Chains A and B, each alone.
Chain A
């Protein structure tokens, strides 16, 4: 007894559609992998990890003057890098992680908050009181 034709057709069609879908998925993923790697996430995490250490219980403010419309992603990534510290938007905290377009801008922000620049690279700076 052979397999009923209808079942054979259903199986064949399902197999063909599944293979076609997967071929498209792999092609799209491969094309994406050939594009320049978006290191916005990894680069940001690495830069924040290079900042001087802060106490685990620190509350950290986050400010940015670069691409202000992308503040939310930067805030979450900073929070992720500095966990379990509390990272909040704004400058009203004993420590500030700032994303500035130039060191001069960072100096200005530190002066305005009554802080010093404790470290930083790649436009990301840690501001705070040196006596803390």
Chain B
């Protein structure tokens, strides 16, 4: 691969991410500036996901991913960056730096950071070995995700590429990852395995960075470093990430939505526009544009947040929250609907006949097998060690038992999504053991970063309580 192709690939990532980071660092004003900037940078990979939407529209309208596409893509993101810089300069000014964390917390954070760096280096090393051995990814990468990217990039007729439906290749799956890879190839000017490898690395490590930076803002440095290292200390998560599947990117967007809502609850300035709600809706929508399971997540998230809003603020708060979340969801969900309606594909799960659905759902033996399989994966190698560490940290960091508002709603969302997974398995028309063997580990990877975040958010004391932030918490 030429240097020019590598530069092109890098530019394809940097351009939308820089635009996103700029907007996010201004919209998420409040709290100490440098942790907030770190959070904005961790969230900025969302820009790469967002950039997959124009690829879909461009191909749907028949255009090729050539020079005209690149010119339009460059113009859009350069314009967005400039517009965002001008517009957000008129929003909240950045807050002054706060007093920081107390001395003992700083020492713990420093130790945690050093171990995190060692864990991250090991994770990078192991992932690089895997990428070198499997440059085209594992089975689902070349049978589904990268195959789809090749259709999007190579086909002269974009609409035909979108309508293609080769048997067993699951072309009904949404397009965020394949369209992102195709866009990287367009910028590189050639197909290179660097593109899917880079996307895999970015989403895997950005998930850990996002979990850590969000907890740095909300819970302090020691908790942030511990949570980040636990996200990376799960070998299943690393292996699935570098397999070039869409589960880890879906997990990144799922985490982003939860993080933004948690940030909104704790840090949003009173009386200001709830931009974080809009961004959370956007992230949740992008999870549905990454994998079909994202639709389950969107449903669970809206249900939990609606219940929370009704309980704490009545219908007025419910309307406001749903309106802003809905505004964020609109764009990616419109793409999902357009894709479903405009280019109908066979759905392997729904189009299979396997006798009465109700019989399968009410079969206790099937439920037992599903629960056993989830348990086996949760407490197997990788998950087991990491979960044990998370659980212990959970129990032992509960120093502030009188903390009035311990946010449990993210755990509620995760439990609902898990319940949804179990229901889908119960209804599965396939051989259940085969279906579980091929899916459970990947599904748990989708929930892993958000699960670690939710656990530590609920367990650890509020950083803003220990070290007062410059922004007033929401009443």
Contact = CB atoms under 8 A, between A and B. Distances in A.
B169 A79 contact: yes
Interface string A33-72: 1000110011001000000000011000000000000001
B230 interface: yes
Contacts of A104: none
Interface in B111-138: 111-112, 115, 118-119, 122-123, 125-126, 129-130, 132-136
Among all A-B residue pairs, the 8 with the closest Cβ atoms: A10-B396, A18-B233, A22-B122, A83-B150, A17-B389, A3-B104, A76-B143, A84-B155
Contacts of A32: 129, 133
B139 to A, nearest CB: 7
A67 to B, nearest CB: 16
Contact of A2 (B104, B160, B229, B382): B104
B72 to A, nearest CB: 22
A79 B147 contact: yes
Nearest to B396: A10
Interface of B: 102-105, 107-108, 111-112, 115, 118-119, 122-123, 125-126, 129-130, 132-136, 139, 142-143, 146-147, 150-151, 154-156, 160-161, 164, 166-169, 222, 226, 229-230, 232-235, 238, 381-382, 385-386, 388-390, 392-393, 395-397, 399
A21 to B, nearest CB: 4
Interface residues of A, number: 47
A8 interface: yes
B393 A26 contact: no
A132 interface: no
Nearest to B137: A41
Contacts of B143: 76, 79-80
19 contacts: A3-B104, A7-B108, A7-B396, A13-B393, A14-B390, A15-B226, A18-B230, A18-B232, A22-B122, A33-B133, A41-B136, A79-B169, A83-B147, A83-B150, A84-B150, A84-B164, A87-B166, A88-B167, A89-B167
A1 B232 contact: no
Contacts of A45: 136
